[in-house]
Structure formats: C-alpha cells, structure tokens
Structure 1
Amino acid sequence: MFAKFKSTNVAAATTSQSVADGNPITQYFEIGKPVACAGPELAWRIHDAYRKSDNKECSVFIFEKKVAEKLHKPRRKETITELLKSSVKTLERFRHPRILQIYHTVEESADTLAFASEPIFASLSNVLAFHESKTYDNANVAAAGGAGAGVGPAQTQGPAGVQPQRPAHAKEYSFLDMELKYGFLQLTEALAYLHYSGHVIHRNVCPSSVLITKRGIWKLAGMEYVERMNETDLNSSIPCPPWSNRVSKMAQPNLDFMAPETQSTSKCSLLSDMFSLGMVICAVFNNGRPLIQAGNSTSNYAKQMETLDDMVHKLMPRLPIALQEATSRMASRDARPGPPPSFCS
C-alpha cells in the first residue's frame, strides 16, 4: 500500500526527515513531504507520514523553533514552544470524533516539536487561501464592487497591473455544498462537546484551527488558548485577555475571528466561540476572505467591527437559506444566541 508513497517521495522524505532530525518522533514515523499547515500563524507544518511499526498512514506536525526566534523578543521562543506543546496535550485529553485524533504525543528536540495525528488533507485556512487567490483575477471587478467582489475592507493591491501571488500555503480544492453543510455541523458538534462535556471555551475557532482529514471530515484542533468555564453556570462569562499589540501575534488568538466582547470587556463565554464559528462560515462564503481584516491592529478591528452587522447582512444572499438565520445571529456584534436545533439540518 505504501510502496508508492516510499518510492515517489524519497527525496521529499529525506528532506522532511532532516527537518525533524534529532526529534525522537523519527524513531516511530517515516516522514514525507509537507502538504499543509495549521495553528497560530500557521506555525505547524503538516507532513504526510506513516508509522513504521504497522505502516499506518498518518500526518506528522512539525514546528521549527527558529520560527519563533524571528520574533526577536526575550523568552518568546520558549513561550510559543510551551503554548504549542500544551495545545497537543489538551487535544489528547479531549477525545471526540470531531476533535483531531492524536496518534503519537508531542516530542521535542533542541530545534523542533513534532506529533502525529490521523491523516490530514489540509487546514481550512489552506483551502480558503486558494479560494481567495482565485479572486485576484477579478481584482478590477472587485474594486468596482461588481459580482466578483468580496464583502469587507478593500483588498490591498500591489503595483499597477501586478496581481498578488497565490500564497504558498494555499491548497487547491473546491467544496461541494454537502461537504460544507456537514463540515459546519461537525464543528458545531465539536464545540458542543467542549462546552457541555469538557466545560471549556475554545477561544480560537478560526480556519487555521480547523483540519480536514483525508476522509473529508472536519476536525477542530488549535487548543492553545482554551479557558475553563464557570462550572456552576456554563452560560456565564469568564475573564480572558483581550488581543494586545504588546504580545506576540503567534501567542494570541486570531484577531479577525475574535468575539467583540473579548476585546471590549476582557470577558468571553461559550457564545464567543459561536461568534467565531459564524465568522468562519462567513469567510467560507466570502471567497475565503474574513469579514474583519484587522491586520493585527486593534484600532482596525474596532473600526471594522462598527460595520460588521452591515457586512453580514450584505453577505447573507450568498449563504444557503438554511444557514442564513443562524449565521446572522452568531456573527452579530451584540449578545447572541447559539444556533437553533435545526442548524445545518
């Protein structure tokens, strides 16, 4: 079964294995080419792999610590490393069919972190980057507000006549309507499990935290920022840090998908996760572009949040009718209910 994998990826495997050199995970897995990326600032590189003991297909996630060293701040490398290690441990603790399944716990060397999971095709972030890149050809139409335009802030353009390059992490794939329906349902089930069984708030539901398996199932990962809920009242808000320019962006949730109450009151609840899910749904139907594009600026975030309800309203005709009401409620600036029982049914 894996003869083709071995023969056609010898060079890639050699290079990929060398990236993980010194990491104990290489004792257990043969690591192939990188195929996707995920996590905060897409810090995890996802490689095709198989387990040596039984030839079981899997994926190996590798984080190169030198990525954090580029942040040029004392202890940031250690902070990011510990954050990513703890996220894998959290994933192992929450076992559920809609949560990413870990095959091998996180291993560490001087240069890398690595762990193994069920086989992954791509992160949702990879796929949406492809969909957004397809709109580059329609940049002039979009600028004029025509049919090809995405809802949200104007897209930054390069020099005249020069279209942006497709991001290296973009993964070419087009969703079927049924895939999206079940994908959103799977994320809702993952959050329901975390909220009502795990009693935690995820705090970073965004495309880089959603992984699509090679079987086409959407799995929730990205557990870097989970917070324990109030055990006596699961619907109540708890304190949580707002996004800050004084903290590395790699050590914080994705600002473009963060609930407004987190930024304005330093509090979050399970409804904050539902807001983020609503924003993910909006991005999927907005040519891959998030409605809020803050560029890691809290002032941009606040300014764009003022017009969020209008942007959501303009986007609704692109969504299937069955999704419109629930999504508009979840992605509202104001206090919002969760999706109704008929969501995605």
Structure 2
Amino acid sequence: MDVFNKICNSVAGTVAGTVNQLSNALPGNPVTREYEATKLIGSAGPGLLWKIYSGHKKSTKQEVSVFVLEKKCLDRFARKSDREALLTSYRKGVAQLTKLRHPRLLVVQHALEESRDSLAFVSEPVRESLLNLLKTEDAIYPVEIKYGLIQLSEALQFIHKEGRLLHMNICPENIIVNASGAWKLAGFDFALSATPTSDPQQPSWSAEESDWSLPIECRPFSDITAPELSLSQLATPANDMFSLGCLAYAVFNKGRPLLARESDAQAPTRNLHKLKQLNVAQLTSVPDGLKDYVKMLLNIKPELRPDAHQFTQIEYFQDVTVKTLNYLDSLFQWDNLQKSQFYKGLPQILPQLPHRVCLLRVIPCLAKEFVNHTMVPFVLPNVLQISEKSTKDEFTQYILPSLIPVLKIVEPVQVLLILMQRMELLLKLTPAEYVRSDVMPVMHRALDSMDQQAAQELCLAALPGVASLIDYPAMKNALLPRILRVCLTTPHTSVRVNCLVCLGKLLEHLDKWLVYDQVLPFLPKITSREPAVLMGILGNNNF
C-alpha cells in the first residue's frame, strides 16, 4: 500500500485543485455518502445520457467508476410521458444488470440510487463506452476487436442460456470498456425475460410492437434491430446475434453503422430492403476471415445466423494472441504446473501483442500471481519484459505498484537472481524515491546473502553500470561498506575478485577523499594471495 500512497501524494496538488464533480452532479444523491469522483471520463447508454466519472470509495480508497444521469438532461424531451418512459427504462436496465453476475458483464458494485435530481450507480473501474473509444481512439488493435467480440459472444451465451434473457439493444453505446480494456456488456434497458413455459429447456420470449411516437432513446435502435423483430415481433436469441453483426461492422467501419438509425415506422422496411441486397463486397471494412460470418449474422432469416457459441469457434478467432488473452482471463482455474508452463511460453507471445494491451490487459493478470510466491519466478520475467518497452510514466502507473511487494520477497532465491539480472532496467525506470526505499534494499540483500554466490556476483557485475543512477549518500553509506565487507569475508575467490573489479569501476563515481579514507586503507587487509586477487588489488592501488 505504500506505493499507492506515494503515487497518490505525488498528484495531491492536482486533485486538491479539482472540483468534486460528483458532488456537483449529484446533489443529495445517496451515492455521495460513500463515493467520491475526480473527473468525467466518458459517457454511455442511449443518447450518451449516462456520464461516467472516475472515483473511489471513501472508506477504502478502492477505485471505482460512478455512472450519473442528471434528470435535467431529459428536459429536452417535451412530453412528460417521454421523460418518465426514459427514467423507467434506465431504472430497469441497471436493476437487471445488478442481478446478473458474469465476467463478461459490467460489474455493478453499488446498486442504483435515486434523488430528486439524478440517478447514479457504481461499477468496477472503466475507461469509457465503446462508442467513445471509436470516436477518440486513433486505432483499436485487431486483437482488441477480436477478443472484444469473443467477450460479447460469451456474454450473450450466458444471458441467453442461464439468464433466459434477450438484450435487444446491443450497440457501441451499451458496451463498456473497463480499466483493463475488456469489453463488458451493459445497457439492459430493453431486455426481455423469457415467458413461463412447460419446457424450461425451450424458453420463449414475447415482444411488443415498437411505439414510433416515442423518442429514439426510449426504444431499441432501428439500425441494430433484427428485421423479424421489427416487422413481426418475433423475439429469439437470433435477434441479439443480428445486433452483434451490426456492431462488428460498425467497429471495423470507425463507428459508422451499416443501416440508418431512423425514427419513423418505415425504417424497418427500408432496412430490410437494404439487407436483401447485401453482399460480401459491401463489407469491405470487415477483415476477410470474418466477412462471411458477419454476412451470416446479418441474414434476414434468423435460423441461418450462428448462435453465440458457434460464433466464438470460427477460425478468425483462433490465433495465438486471442488465445493468450483468453488463457490469462481463466488462469485462476489452473494449477501451478499448468500456470508455470504457460508463463514459460509467454515471452514468445508478448512481442506479438500491442504494448497498450500488455499494459492494460496482461500486467493486471500477471500481478494477481504475485501473491503466490511459487509462481513469482515464472511471472516476473514477463513483467520485466513488458517494462522494457514502457516509459517511466507507464512503468510508474501500471507496473510499479504491483512490483513493489515482489521486491521484498526473500524466497525463492530465483526472484533475487532475476531482479539482479534486470537491475539496470529497474533503476532506469523507477522514480528516485522508490529507488531509495524499495530497489536499493534488493541490492543490499544480494550483497548480504553470503550463501548466494550467484546473487552477489550478479549484483557486483551490475553495480558499475547503474552507479550513475544511485545517489551519492546511498553509494557511500550503504553499498560501498557492503562491498568492502563482502570482499573480506567471502569464502569464494571469484566473489572477492568481482568485489575488487567492481571497486575499480566505481572509483570514478566516488569522491577522492572517500577513496583515500576507505578504499585504499582497506586493500592491505585482504590476506588472499591468489593471482587474480593480487591483480585486483594492484589495479585499485593505481588510483
């Protein structure tokens, strides 16, 4: 927790100057009793009326996101009945989402609260909606889209089979991208629950005809609604698969939809005509491996569309990067042997993943393993490999908080050896205050480990290369005395020689008087007379 406190303190000035936007947006809402927010980060839902704030729980400082709908934003709807219909659908959507529990659905941490002026609920930390992302991100990497579509398909599998629900409005506004980049399904405002039947294995759903007099925000969007639902009120899981096909097209087309989002009763008929004329050549923005399947999802005959499970099994999704992300999400189900084998192979996969994906998706999964000391030697090399491509700011924000506890691990000794091998990288990326408090003790521990010859030699070999990164007091008062003590007390000639070589390389970083007072008087105390030791002593005397 110390590292989190230090990072929080480093931005305290910025936070202190920020108006509590949540309190301003939520006067009187019960959510403000337990949660605070720092800034507006995104929007979601029909009309993007849900505003998303980053924040934390007051009692634990746990990071969260707060979804806020200010009722004054509904004033643009002239009829009171429309405003009430909107509020009813929003209440229903959050209530439904709160009941559901699945890794592919947005996690609600505090149920909907309502005041005179607003609705609000609290979720897991998120970045923004997929629509926000499509509008602002220069590029969404193919692996992010591939895995995002798989995640949505798995969400649909769950709600169709276990939840016995139809979502009815799968669109970029209702897909939430969480803090680690995962796509989470939300927006259950128009979800249909199965009607009771004699056969629980064969659920059925009943849909009502759309009321086209209502604002577009009060009903499922026409551009993602399956034709059989719009024209015949036939409600089946295939409706949601059609919407998923529309979403896939839009994602690859920079957010632009295939069909027009219109608000008149003739829109379904016009969309049906366009779908009848649809061919693969019109799906030029969709990758070749997915194009035929998107066309199948958009088929006007619901029985020809693949279901959610079938869609996840197509060859387009079977590449190693997507499988890697899927493995990372399911690692908690594996035993240590299976995990260790996966982590040994991960260094070959990491170069194929975009750096943003490594930071936001891979690092959080790896960090969870740090509590299992048996796994640390397998996980740590992967974390440090990702660190190589990180800026100092990225390392401090995404990697260092989870790495700090690892720096304090004493066993197994492999952890110490790995850290010593990458000490130059750690010193280059770690802010100075953490170097003193957390990184330098690792070097001290290596030098003090008299029974760990390899750790001592790695430390002595690394020290000259990182000496310029170590402040003078730490060098004078902590490292130099340890090197001198190791040189005198070690039973290993190679360690003693390495101490002398290290000292010789450090001389340029030491004050002249420090050398006269501590280094030169120390050399005659060395009683060993091996040739290599004598050469090391003579080399230092040349100063």
TM-score (norm 1): 0.82
Q: Which residue of 1 aligns with 2:166?
A: 201
* Structure 1 unaligned regions, length at least 5: 131-170
Q: Is residue 22–residue 32 contact of structure 2 (8 Å, CA) maintained in 1?
A: no
**Shift of the alpha carbon at 1:199?**
0.6
Q: Which residue of 2 aligns with 1:103?
A: 109
Q: Which residue of 2 aligns with 1:292?
A: 259
**Mapped pair 1:214 → 2:179:** yes
CA distance in 2, matches of 1:267, 1:127: 33
* Structure 2 unaligned regions, length at least 5: 319-543
- SS in structure 2 of the partner of residue 113 of structure 1: strand
298, 302, 305: which is aligned to 1:337? 305
**Shift of the alpha carbon at 1:200?**
0.8
| Pairing of 1:1-345 with structure 2 (within 5 A) | 1=4, 2-3=8-9, 7-128=13-134, 130=135, 171-230=136-195, 231=197, 232=199, 238-311=205-278, 313-335=280-302, 336-339=304-307, 340=310, 342-343=313-314, 344-345=317-318
Q: Is residue 211–residue 218 contact of structure 1 (8 Å, CA) maintained in 2?
A: yes
Larger % of helix: which?
2
The Cα offsets for residues 139-163 of structure 1, whole Å up to 9 and x where unpaired, read as xxxxxxxxxxxxxxxxxxxxxxxxx
In the alignment, residue 127 of structure 2 is paired with which amino acid?
F
More off after superposition, 73-82 vs 226-235: 226-235
**Shift of the alpha carbon at 1:265?**
0.4
Identity of aligned residues (%): 30
CA distance in 2, matches of 1:4, 1:172: 28
**Shift of the alpha carbon at 1:203?**
0.6
In the alignment, residue 119 of structure 1 is paired with which amino acid?
P
CA distance in 2, matches of 1:50, 1:13: 15
CA distance in 2, matches of 1:5, 1:119: 19
CA distance in 1, matches of 2:231, 2:163: 26
Larger % of strand: which?
1
**Shift of the alpha carbon at 1:237?**
5.6
- SS in structure 1 of the partner of residue 256 of structure 2: coil
Larger Rg: 2
CA distance in 1, matches of 2:281, 2:261: 19
Q: Is residue 235–residue 269 contact of structure 1 (8 Å, CA) maintained in 2?
A: no
- SS in structure 1 of the partner of residue 92 of structure 2: helix
- SS in structure 2 of the partner of residue 282 of structure 1: helix
The Cα offsets for residues 5-59 of structure 1, whole Å up to 9 and x where unpaired, read as 6542445442342111211111111112111111121110001111111111111
- SS in structure 2 of the partner of residue 239 of structure 1: coil
CA distance in 1, matches of 2:77, 2:89: 15
CA distance in 1, matches of 2:254, 2:202: 33
Q: Which residue of 1 aligns with 2:374?
A: none
CA distance in 1, matches of 2:100, 2:150: 18
CA distance in 1, matches of 2:14, 2:289: 44
Quickly say closer, same or farther: Cα 1:207–1:285, change in 2 above 3 A: same
The Cα offsets for residues 185-242 of structure 1, whole Å up to 9 and x where unpaired, read as 0000000000001111111111111011110100000011111125537667633134
- SS in structure 2 of the partner of residue 183 of structure 1: helix
CA distance in 1, matches of 2:259, 2:70: 29
**Shift of the alpha carbon at 1:309?**
4.7
The Cα offsets for residues 157-184 of structure 1, whole Å up to 9 and x where unpaired, read as xxxxxxxxxxxxxx33521111111000
**Shift of the alpha carbon at 1:92?**
1.2
Considering Cα pairs closer than 8 Å and 6+ residues apart, tell me whether 1 or 2 has the greater RCO: 1
More off after superposition, 80-89 vs 275-284: 80-89
**Shift of the alpha carbon at 1:301?**
4.1
CA distance in 1, matches of 2:188, 2:233: 19
Q: Is residue 194–residue 201 contact of structure 1 (8 Å, CA) maintained in 2?
A: yes
TM-score (norm 2): 0.53
Q: Which residue of 2 aligns with 1:136?
A: none
**Shift of the alpha carbon at 1:114?**
0.6
- SS in structure 2 of the partner of residue 53 of structure 1: coil
